[in-house]
Structure 1
């Protein structure tokens, strides 16, 4: 499967028609697996991620929020709406809802609206290309509200391009390389860093030897498929699909099994904050 929700949703009917199972590492929109018995995922979903970030903001006393999303982008609009709903259910006030078009680079008009609404927090799930532009332009306009987003913002290029303006940005993600509670995760981090440091091209593309959550999820997705093939003792799509449905394996991002929709049964997210030019672990959040 793909890493992104939009392309995963688009590809879903093709996999289904061909009867080929797919396992998405980090596609979080519910529509990816909905009604498609051939699509699985190893990450948590946007309704959970939106709830996590809404609780994070509200518990920190941020009671007025602005939400900025990208028109036509399944991930951005979906996660933005899940945050909005959860935040309002907690008693938070949405003081501004803004949207932008794909390819936009000047966000000062919508950010002016946000500034006039005077929010405590801005939730802006978007791409790694858009993120530093939004962050820098918000700070240039004198907006002091906390800026938050989802898992796509755990990318070193955002820090590199936004610079000091990225300080204090918060996001939810699937994995923390400094979590020492899992020996399996520790072995993966050690091996992945050795791999990166042994190849200058990959090290540069990765933005250093940090281990992003999508890397850990990609590793888990690959190994889930391998384990399903072993369990099925076959490589045809129907046999592998059946094996995936009954699979229960330990991954570097936690235990992985699938519900009736093909979604991983995940109940925990990591919150990270950008501090001193790095992603720093803040806390974990679990669902009931």
Structure 2
């Protein structure tokens, strides 16, 4: 694969200082990975690790960084735990990595933020879509935190437009997880836009992460005059909910967000039940974009399976970090941070984007449709 590397021009002989004060030749560029490789969110973190590793492999095959330096990776498992996420990033910072890719979830990302800021360590987040993630409690920019995914509010906004304009739904029921910021943020944005369009939210039900029996909510939904369900939760609860909804006879369109984009959803729901299901996401196997097609083929060759949105986003996050190192012409963390901030027209496998003033990408959303568990439709929605 041929990747354009920008801003080359560092003179040969990159140097580092050892703890003893001696000058050493830098033989590699080391990147850190903080991923959920076990625990509740391993189905997100594991494909991210695969995308991270593949991006580094491709960069090394194309000559490495900074006039030929090999890229190396140090990866630790945060076990889907916020305390461990902070500990992992502390360990990576102490081991001298240039930047960190990951973790997956908003909670785990927020846990590492103080470590990134204290150590002036750039962190590129693949898939944590929580609103305002890159800002502190006072609305000030967290200057070392970046991401390659759009925010939840934009997903909810696009989802409402798609349901109202494309599916022709005017009466909807919303089912959300009150304990999950991700779900609440999506719900609020969807409801605001859907009602602004003239739609009616007939009823709202709730569930909690870890629930496996949704019969009470489904019994109530059976009595409501609704045309579709908006269920912005993660893939485990979504898969079980869709399965039980179909068993209850609720053969209505179900829509969610990028938390659906995992094969486990279809496995839990069952192929036949995963029909008339739609979700907003970052990446589609149906894309005809040349870079995306090349990535899918390379991923299948490397791992013997198709990539998902999380592996694709991690691939882009890793390339963004590596290209910033080349653009900066240095492994200096502040220089790399500045290069990421200044990124424009970055051509990734999840789309072309530029970084905005809040360290978020300006990029398109894709709305994917499933029939019998298979992705059969994709609609790209450009940013406004």
The two structures have a TM-score, normalised by structure 1, of 0.90
**Pairing partner for 2:286 from 178, 181, 187:** 178
**2:275 aligned with 1:167:** yes
CA contact (8 A) 2:155 2:186 kept: yes
Counterpart residue number, 1:114 = 221
Post-superposition Cα deviations, 1:183-235, rounded to whole Å, max 9, x if no partner, equal 222221111110112xxxxxxxxxxx222122211110001000111122222
Structure 1: tracts of 5 or more residues without a match: 198-208
Q: Alpha-carbon deviation of 1:262?
A: 0.3
**Pairing partner for 1:216 from 283, 304, 312:** 312
Post-superposition Cα deviations, 1:96-153, rounded to whole Å, max 9, x if no partner, equal 1122223221111122222222321111111121111111121222223211100111
**2:120 aligned with 1:13:** no
Cα distance in 2, alignment partners of residues 254 and 147 from structure 1: 26
Counterpart residue number, 2:239 = 132
Cα distance in 2, alignment partners of residues 169 and 66 from structure 1: 15
Counterpart residue number, 2:82 = none
Counterpart residue number, 1:45 = 151
Q: Alpha-carbon deviation of 1:50?
A: 0.8
CA contact (8 A) 2:120 2:334 kept: yes
Highest CA radius of gyration, 1 or 2?
2
Cα distance in 2, alignment partners of residues 14 and 71 from structure 1: 29
Structure 2: tracts of 5 or more residues without a match: 1-101, 136-140
Structure-2 change in CA distance of 1:256 and 1:285 (3 Å): closer
Q: Alpha-carbon deviation of 1:24?
A: 0.9
Please give the root-mean-square deviation of Cα atoms over the aligned residues, in Å: 1.6
Q: How does 1:55-94 map to 2 (within 5 A)?
A: 55-59=161-165, 60-94=167-201
Cα distance in 2, alignment partners of residues 114 and 19 from structure 1: 50
1:145 partner SS: coil
Cα distance in 2, alignment partners of residues 141 and 8 from structure 1: 38
Counterpart residue number, 1:145 = 252
Bigger helix fraction: 1
**How many matched pairs?**
275
Q: Alpha-carbon deviation of 1:283?
A: 2.0
The two structures have a TM-score, normalised by structure 2, of 0.68
Q: Alpha-carbon deviation of 1:175?
A: 1.4
Displacement over 3 Å in runs of 4+? none
Counterpart residue number, 2:348 = 251
